[in-house]
Structure 1
Amino acid sequence: MPTTPSTLDRTTAAERRRTLVRTTRDVAEDLAADALARDQAGRPPTDEVARLREAGLLAALTPPAPERGTDWRTGCAVVRRVASADSSVGEVLARHYVHAWSGRFHASRHHADALEEESVRAQWLWTGASRGTAPDDDSDGQDLTLRPRDSGHVLNGCRFVDTAVAVADRIVVDARCAVTGDILTVLIPPDARGVTVEPAHDRLGQRVAGAGTVVLDRVTVPPGQVLGRRPDDEESTAPFTALAEPALRLALCHVGLGIVEGALSEARDLSRGGRAYRLPGTDPDLFLTYGELASAAQTAIAVVDRATETMAQALDTGARLDDEEAAGVSALVATAETVTSKAALHITARVLELADAPGLDRFWRNARVLTAHHPAAHRLRSIGEHYLNGSHRAVAATFH
């Protein structure tokens, strides 16, 4: 059978995927070796990002294109594997990967291609924080404002960023134009004039993620850094653009699964090594407990995997995605987030009862911080409304 260009492309993609899986395993093993010490130090992830960059993960975790990037399923698997070793670094990588899709979600295809090519070439680390227009947002509205000028806009204000605020290469934020009222998604280089960062210290969990506040004082935003305009009414948002927020939440579900798998694995190793309160083979109640926790983990994995597959199909559909499909994806992501949050908090608390070892509490602390921003009750109401009333964009917009 002759080899065709499409066959070569598939072969090359498969080879890249296998290489990425091997690299991810090596990086995870490296991170796991000193995860506890780095958690206790709680410093910005400068060294961790250097490890990711040296391994090629920052360049690899960009949207898929011929000869570059990573598909959604594989990208989430990479995030989960890294998070099982160090959930802070897993969150850095999750947010990097999703924010690297910002061009496709918000900009023209030509603009997105140029950004992605530069991101791969320069091995950018992406981060960001979008306020959005969530119904449960109890803030006073947008905390960043743009004012038009001849050469683009001037950006002022501050925004809390969950990861890599001091070490990122590009920060994605949304801001309201003070003149037109439009909400624009913009890309900010942290080394631009007027940008300062204030790292957060002494966090309860995710201590190595590099959270902090970015302060923007009369920062010039040229037209090329404006990715696109988002309607104030999310029902008017294009279905594909509406995937941006649930895509981020779903990637963070994989971070949550990584925390669960890391906690169970470490507790199991302690039990096998005789450093547990109860030893394997001597207490049937121990088998019952591990059976309960393993079942809870597998349930969360199954729900997240289903949402991941549905999201992957939606991303592949692109601009052809319709309102009903986008709403369905949002509902599945909300379900995955609800199940994962419950499992992560339950499992990480229970493992503390099974083994006595320094640092085992970090899994619960990390899970608590990761899940703190999204109340379960609101998600459950939204899921119920979607189930009862069908797939409407008005309902999809409430999954924040």
Structure 2
Amino acid sequence: MGVATAPSGRSGSESDRTGPGRAHWLRVARETADDLATDAVAREQAGKAPFDEVSRLREAGLLTLLIPAGLGGGGADWPTAYAAVRTIAAADGAIAQLLSCHYLLSWSVRFFTEPAHTAEIEQKSAAEQWCWGGGYAHRPLTLTRTAGGYALDGRQSHATGVLVADRLAVRAVRADTGESLAVLVDPSRHGVGIHGDADTFGQRLAAGGSLEFDGVPVAADDVLGSLTVDEAVLSPLAALTSPLRRLLSVQLRLGMAEGVLAEAREYRGAGPSPWHPDHPAGSPQDPQVLTAYGELTVLTRAASALADQAREAVHGGLVRGEDLTYDEYAEISVLVAMAEAASSKTAQESTARALDIIGARSASSRLGFDRFWRNARTHALYEPVAHQLRDVGDYYLNGAHPAFTLPV
């Protein structure tokens, strides 16, 4: 399939499918992940803003993957983007989170903007290889009408990718009307303050930080469109931006789980097994190791199968376009919620128990196995799944539709 149908009227037509193809992008993602894996431990421990890592994504062409080929992009679809994120996450979960945020924000303009304007933005993003950061936070900024357009003021406490972004996508409320709007901001504009104050113990290379805006000039063309969540206004198709984003989180978690298990499998330590001193750490002859790998493999494969179902459902909803119904949206949203819960458990168990499989040597900072656990745990704190489980229960017990939400 080509680029999925969007409210702007662009469909997955043949003209969008003139890019290199899925096999090419999967190979590029694999090569990029292998490159990131070579120095993942050193980069994570250094904790520098990931300008170099973004350059690697840019040189590989991954930043423009979802932009139609006719506009200078990769012409790929969302299933391909999900696969790329998961592959990168197996090597570096933080860079995969940064890439996920970029994909969502750069693609979401299709939900807010007229087709011609969308094409202009995507074409410029492709030509200049923009990396997008920010997010549509619950506490919006303030947009005030001026003679030349608007002025943006306020503070956003945390957003992904902002330390390295070429463009920021944020949420602001018009001071005169109270309407919530998506706004595109050039971070080099006077009055934009970006602070690397996230200081998290995991996902340290996701370039997170806080934003401050002090009378930042915003042109009318940079106001992308409405972010209302009123069901009377928001179509089921537009509401798919939320499960679409949440499915990125699912792929991120599964990539982390697969990455730590692969690294633990490849590691051959000289120390004793934690259960059998006569076997080396991680020995394939150790029955406890075999059992642990068996359990974690089953857990990961089960979550992966559920994620595949959710991916097909989301993509099917996008292809249906404006024909998507509220009932179909609810079914898709609940399926994604189930995948979220399964992937969250998988990531946290796999990244924690892999340390036990390796044994005491996994505590070595030089080996860096702890980064998987810290990344997965940090992501779980920012993306809790308890409310998603409640949505699943309410849907199956009472037939209640999950609330319409937009991604933050």
TM-score (norm 1): 0.89
**How many angstroms apart in 1 are the aligned matches of 2:159 and 2:187?**
15
Give the letter for the 2:348 counterpart: L
In structure 1, which of residues 92, 98, 109 is the aligned counterpart of residue 98 of structure 2?
92
Structure 1 CA distance, aligned partners of 2:263 and 2:102?
Answer: 27
Q: Judging changes above 3 Å, is the alpha-carbon distance between structure 1 residues 161 and 63 closer, same or farther for their aligned structure 2 residues?
A: farther
Q: Give the deviation of 1:61 after TM superposition.
A: 3.7
Q: 2: distance between equivalents of 1:171 and 1:252? A: 20
- Identify which of 311, 333, 339 aligns with 1:308: 311
Query: What's the RMSD between the two structures over aligned residues?
Result: 2.4
SS at match of 2:236: coil
Report the equivalent of 2:53. Answer: 48
* Structure 1 partner of 2:88: 82
Q: Which residue in 2 is equivalent to 1:174? A: 171
- Counterpart of 1:321, as a letter, is L
Amino acid in the other structure paired with 2:373: W
Query: Does the Cα contact within 8 Å between 1:385 and 1:395 map onto a contact in 2?
Result: no
Cα distance in 1 between the residues matched to 2:132 and 2:13: 32
* Match 1:337 to one of 337, 340, 343: 340
Q: 1:194 to 1:252 in 2, by over 3 A?
A: same
Contact kept, 8 Å, 1:166 with 1:197, in 2: the verdict is yes
Q: Does 1:385 align with 2:394?
A: yes
1:397/1:113 Cα in 2 relative to 1: closer, same or farther (>3 Å)? same
Cα deviation per residue 1:138-189 (whole Å; 9 max; x = unaligned)?
xxxx341111223322111111344221211111111111221110111111
1:215 matched to 2:215? The reply is no
Per-residue CA shift, 1:284-343, capped at 9, x if unaligned? 122111100111111111111111111111122223322222222221221111111111
Distance 1:207 1:317, change over 3 A: same
Give the counterpart letter for 1:354 in structure 2.
I
> Partner amino acid for 1:205?
G
The yes-or-no answer on 1:122 pairing with 2:125 is: no
Equivalence for 2:368? 359
Is 1:298 the counterpart of 2:280 in the alignment?
no
* Gap change, CA 1:329 and 1:160, over 3 Å in 2: farther
**Alpha-carbon displacement from aligned partner over 1:58-81 (angstroms, at most 9, x marks no partner):** 122436768743200001101111
Question: Is 1:231 paired with 2:228?
Answer: yes
Structure 2 CA distance for partners of 1:8 and 1:198, relative to 1, 3 Å? closer
Cα 1:61/1:398, change in 2 over 3 Å: closer
Letter in 2 for 1:295: V
Counterpart amino acid of residue 128 in structure 2: A
Distance 1:88 1:229 in 2: 30
Query: Could you tell me which residue of structure 1 aligns to residue 35 of structure 2?
Result: 30
1:103 aligns with 2:109: yes
User: 1:233, CA displacement in angstroms?
Assistant: 3.0
Once the two structures are superposed, the pairs formed by residues 50-69 of structure 1 within 5 Å of their partners are 50-62=55-67, 68=73, 69=75
| Residue in structure 1 matched with residue 351 of structure 2 by the alignment | 348
The CA distance in 2 between the partners of 1:389 and 1:165, in whole Å, is: 41
Higher mean alpha-carbon deviation, 313-322 vs 215-224, is at: 313-322
TM superposition shift of 1:376: 2.8
Q: Secondary structure at the match of 2:43?
A: helix
Cα deviation for residue 202 of structure 1 reads 3.5
The one-letter amino acid of 2:39's match is D
CA 275–99 in structure 1, closer or farther in 2 if over 3 Å, else same: farther
Partner of 1:189: 186
**Are the aligned partners of 1:58 and 1:123 in contact in 2 as well (CA < 8 Å)?**
yes
Q: Which letter maps to 1:208?
A: L
Q: Which residue of 1 aligns with 2:44?
A: 39
Aligned residue for 2:137?
131
In 1, distance between residues paired with 2:213 and 2:272? 50
CA distance in 1: counterparts of 2:16 and 2:215, whole angstroms: 47
- How many angstroms apart in 1 are the aligned matches of 2:54 and 2:39? 15
Say whether 1:375 aligns with 2:381: no
Ranges in structure 1 where 5+ consecutive residues have no aligned partner = 1-5, 133-141
Sequence identity (%): 40
**Contact 2:158–2:198, Cα closer than 8 Å, also in 1:** no
**After superposition, what is the alpha-carbon deviation per residue over 1:17-70, rounded to whole angstroms, capped at 9, x for unaligned?**
222222211111110000000010011111101111112111224367687432
- Aligned partner letter, 1:229: S
AA matched with 1:329: I
Of 330, 334, 340, the match for 1:327: 330
Return the alpha-carbon distance in structure 1 between the equivalents of residues 292 and 232 of structure 2.
Answer: 45
Q: Out of 272, 281, 286, which is 1:283 matched to?
A: 286
**What is the TM-score of this pair, normalised by structure 2?**
0.87
Give 1:396 shift: 4.4
Q: CA deviation at 1:391?
A: 6.0
